[in-house]
């Protein structure tokens, strides 16, 4: 069907079939390559919806006051164990946020072809920059030597192993990779699964739980608040990668066989094992209100939710959530008074509702 627009003495003929062809040519991978960033017509509506929700959640580290945290850090009220959790949190995430952002930009965003997917991935990478920046803000506020953080991800073996676990599914993929073979399609699917469900979806949650547990006891209110914002962002990232994974599988069903599904479950099993070892390093002694057993059980619980979310069998079905309060702390939208100023304005500016936090 053609539509003609006549403006003055000029006429323009637009062919609707062309738009439909463009829509049909959109694919997660191996779609039409075009220099135009043609978002419309949208094929992956979820990508645009999550993008809107991410924008509505925009925050900047400097919006969060750190005075109380600085006073506590300098006082003698804290145990060595509590300080160690903060150091491990800052040390691990300083490396991890950068690794995620790099993978989003240089692997996944380069390999997908539909513009609305590139749009949401660009925002995802930007949020990793905000997270990295928030850690820098924490380090400089508390006066921690930046070399200590650098040393942590080189010298603490449990951090090193978690990082190696993810970078090994990232290094072999680049823009030039031929994505028409089953093997390479599976490599990309594995990457999206490992980063979204194993790393951001599971391996981030040991420390999230510990830091928010301190926050609940009124320790490190500024750091806790930044981690709450980060956690809210991460739930969008997990959702982006979950949808991306599901659509990739849907469009390339030849890769979804029993062996591959088992391989993915095995990767999650390894992620869980690494995270439990890491939790033992974060909590060598059971401090007040913090027991490593609860956090390791939480990892089993959350890992199964991630597996089920992408259509895989759980590893330990029936494990209960030992930290029900964590979901409540996540639900920032309930706090009427917190959002004054900038953050509220961003939220009002968006007509779309936020993605629900129920994936915790
Ligand atoms: Fe992040
Ligand atoms: Mn993330």
* φ/ψ of residue 168, rounded to 5: -70, -20
Burial 167-178 (b: 16+ CB within 10 A, else e): eebbeebeeebe
Measured in angstroms, how far is the CA atom of residue 106 from the centroid of ligand 1? Answer: 16
> In the prediction, which pLDDT does 356 show?
44
Question: What protein residues have CB closer than 5 angstroms to ion ligand 1?
Answer: 97, 128, 131
Average pLDDT in the chain: 90
Q: For residue 288, name the pLDDT band (cuts at 50, 70, 90).
A: low
Measured in angstroms, how far is the CA atom of residue 278 from the centroid of ligand 2? Answer: 19
Give the architecture-level CATH label for domain 2-345: Orthogonal Bundle (1.10)
Range with top average pLDDT, 124-133, 282-291, 331-340: 124-133
Distance CA 119, CA 122 (A): 5
Q: For residue 352, name the pLDDT band (cuts at 50, 70, 90).
A: very low
Distance CA 114, CA 34 (A): 10
Burial 221-240 (b: 16+ CB within 10 A, else e): bbbbbbbbbbbbbbbbbbbb
Q: For residue 326, name the pLDDT band (cuts at 50, 70, 90).
A: confident
Measured in angstroms, how far is the CA atom of residue 101 from the centroid of ligand 2? Answer: 7
Q: 10-15 and 2-7 as β-strands: parallel, antiparallel, unpaired? A: antiparallel
State percent of the chain over pLDDT 90.
Answer: 77
69-96: per-residue pLDDT in tens? 999 999 999 999 999 999 999 999 999 9
pTM of the prediction?
A: 0.91
Measured in angstroms, how far is the CA atom of residue 206 from the centroid of ligand 1? Answer: 14
pLDDT at 206 > cutoff 60 = yes
Active site residues: 137
| Number of Cβ atoms within 10 Å of the Cβ of 209 | 23
Task: Pick left, alpha or beta for residue 8 (phi over 0 → left; psi -120 to 50 → alpha; otherwise beta).
Answer: left
234-253: per-residue pLDDT in tens? 999 999 999 999 999 999 99
169-197: per-residue pLDDT in tens? 999 898 889 999 999 999 999 999 999 99
pLDDT at 340 > cutoff 60 = no
With residue 15 as reference, give the H or E element that holds it: strand 10-15
Residue, of 35 and 32, whose pLDDT is higher:
32
pLDDT at 31 > cutoff 90 = yes
Q: What is the mean pLDDT of residues 1-19?
A: 90
Please give the angle made by the CA atoms of 181, 184 and 188, to the nearest 5 degrees.
135
> Which ligand is in closest contact with the Cα of 131?
1
> In the prediction, which pLDDT does 287 show?
67
> In the prediction, which pLDDT does 328 show?
83
**Distance from first CA to last CA of the chain, Å, rounded?**
47
pLDDT at 18 > cutoff 90 = no
């Amino acid at each position: 069907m053609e539509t003609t627009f006549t403006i003055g003495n000029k006429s323009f003929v637009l062919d609707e079939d062309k738009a439909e062809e463009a829509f049909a040519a959109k694919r997660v991978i191996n779609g039409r390559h075009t220099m135009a960033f043609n978002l419309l017509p949208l094929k992956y509506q979820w990508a645009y919806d999550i993008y809107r929700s991410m924008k509505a959640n925009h925050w900047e580290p400097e919006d969060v006051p750190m005075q109380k945290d600085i006073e506590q850090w300098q006082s003698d009220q804290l145990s060595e164990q509590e300080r160690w959790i903060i150091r491990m949190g800052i040390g691990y995430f300083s490396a991890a946020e950068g690794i995620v952002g790099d993978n989003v930009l240089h692997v996944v965003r380069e390999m997908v072809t539909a513009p609305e997917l590139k749009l949401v991935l660009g925002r995802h990478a930007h949020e990793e920059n905000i997270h990295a920046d928030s850690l820098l803000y924490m380090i400089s506020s508390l006066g921690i030597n930046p070399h200590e953080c650098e040393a942590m991800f080189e010298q603490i073996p449990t951090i090193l192993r978690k990082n190696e676990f993810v970078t090994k599914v990232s290094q072999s993929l680049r823009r030039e990779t031929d994505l028409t073979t089953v093997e390479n399609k599976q490599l990309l699917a594995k990457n999206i699964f490992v980063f979204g469900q194993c790393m951001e979806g599971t391996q981030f949650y040991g420390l999230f739980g510990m830091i928010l547990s301190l926050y609940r006891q009124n320790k490190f209110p500024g750091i806790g608040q930044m981690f709450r914002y980060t956690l809210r962002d991460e739930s969008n990232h997990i959702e982006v990668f979950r949808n991306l994974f599901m659509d990739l599988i849907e469009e390339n069903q030849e890769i979804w066989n029993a062996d591959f599904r088992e391989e993915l479950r095995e990767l999650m099993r390894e992620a869980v094992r690494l995270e439990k070892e890491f939790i033992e390093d974060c909590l060598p002694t059971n401090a007040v209100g913090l027991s490593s057993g609860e956090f390791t059980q939480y990892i089993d619980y959350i890992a199964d939710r991630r597996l089920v979310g992408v259509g895989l069998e759980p590893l330990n079905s029936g494990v209960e959530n030992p930290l029900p309060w964590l979901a409540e702390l996540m639900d920032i939208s309930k706090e009427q008074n917190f959002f004054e100023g900038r953050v509220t304005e961003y939220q009002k500016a968006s007509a779309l509702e936020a993605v629900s936090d129920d994936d915790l």
